[in-house]
Amino acid sequence: MKIKTAVDALAALAQESRLSVFRLLVQAGKEGLAAGVLGEKLGIPPATLSFHLKGLTHAKLVKSRTEGRYVIYTASYAEMDKLIAYLTEHCCAGDSAQCAPRKKC
């Protein structure tokens, strides 16, 4: 991963509404959630939510598909994992004692 890609992804997550949206989608699984459901669960007005979803989409952290008049958003686990791998790359100066296993999503 390039550093600009990582900065863009981190910036996309570094805002309370966007982070809340992303976490809901991470928890929702591949079924995803419609924009309207996200807005209602989080109390975010349509224009604001759309602005933030655009940011998450541009950072490739979420994907969307259209179903009728709904737009369904899903988290990109692949992109999240790449970001986490980038943060932890070659960590701990090779001291594997500090690197216990953790779940991958």
| Positions in the binding site for DNA (CB under 7 A) | 11, 14-18, 34-37, 39, 44-55, 64, 66, 68-72
* Residue 87 in the binding site for its own copies (CB under 8 A): yes
Query: d(Cα 32, Cα 53) in Å, to the nearest integer?
Result: 13
Q: Evaluate whether 53 touches 62 at the Cβ level (below 8 Å).
A: yes
Residue whose CB is less far from DNA, 26 or 37: 37
Phi, psi of 33 (to 5 degrees): -140, 145
Query: d(Cα 102, Cα 85) in Å, to the nearest integer?
Result: 12
Residues contributing to the site for its own copies (CB under 8 A): 3-4, 6-7, 10-11, 13-16, 19-20, 22-23, 26-31, 75, 77, 80-81, 84-95, 98-105
